[in-house]
Amino acid sequence: MPYILNVPFADKDEAKSLGAYWLNEIKKWVIPDHLTDVNRFAKCIPAGRLDCIIRKPYLLAFANRNCWKCGQNTPVVAPAATNYYHLEQVDEDDPDNEAVIWVKGEDPTLFSYVQSADLAAMEYFKKVQPQFKYTFSKAIQSSYWANTCKSCGVLQGDFELHDEPGGPFFPIVYDPVDIKIVSFELEYDYAIEGEYGGQQFEEMDFSSFLQRI
């Protein structure tokens, strides 16, 4: 699906010349699916708060764990992506150089410590997993979109889910019985802010887990 741009009227001809499409039904310019170089539209993509762009397929990972407090089995989810772009500093050796570029992610990834995402994506996440809530974590002294126990409502922290070997999203041996990655439909590509990447995903073949709904 296309990614919606923020194109000032004065820049419409430039956007068109770069390959952007005008969608009359929403009165917006978009990056069409066949264009993979999003940097040509960099000035029309707000850099900062939402630092990853997720392009189709849109994915969500499902797993289960026993709640650390009540011991009951509870479902947990995580946004996932195989086709995404993230912001990267142009010169990492020069901390005063604030220039950034959009770089295509090399490996599949799950997202953790999610701070925000475009509304359509967040509405889908909450619809399929009502226990996915914006929750305060005492461990890190801040709030993020996290899984909570369906029985007792207690936070299931992302460190235990994503970063601890043997956790639901960091299995020692990958098995589709234990983790399921589902593709879903959205009208447009979405942006997200959260942590991504990590060595636990480098050898993970998402195709063996992928299911459609």
For residue 51, is it within any domain?
A: no
- Residue 89: the pLDDT is 75
For residue 50, is it within any domain?
A: no
For residue 4, is it within any domain?
A: yes
Does residue 172 register a pLDDT over 90? no
- Same domain for 67 and 111? yes
- Same domain for 146 and 126? yes
What's the whole-model pTM score?
A: 0.86
Q: What is the domain extent for residue 124?
A: 56-212
- Same domain for 66 and 41? no
For residue 88, is it within any domain?
A: yes
146 close to 112: Cβ distance less than 8 angstroms: no
Residues 22, 16: Cα–Cα separation, whole Å: 8
- Same domain for 21 and 115? no
Q: What is the pLDDT of residues 39-91, one digit of tens each?
A: 888 888 865 567 899 999 999 999 999 999 999 999 999 999 989 999 887 76
Would strands 180-184 and 210-212 be described as parallel, antiparallel, or unpaired? parallel
> Structurally, how many domains does the chain consist of?
2
Q: What is the pLDDT of residues 114-169, one digit of tens each?
A: 999 999 999 999 999 999 999 999 999 999 999 999 999 999 999 999 999 889 99
Closest CA to 7 of 50, 56, 40, 49: 40
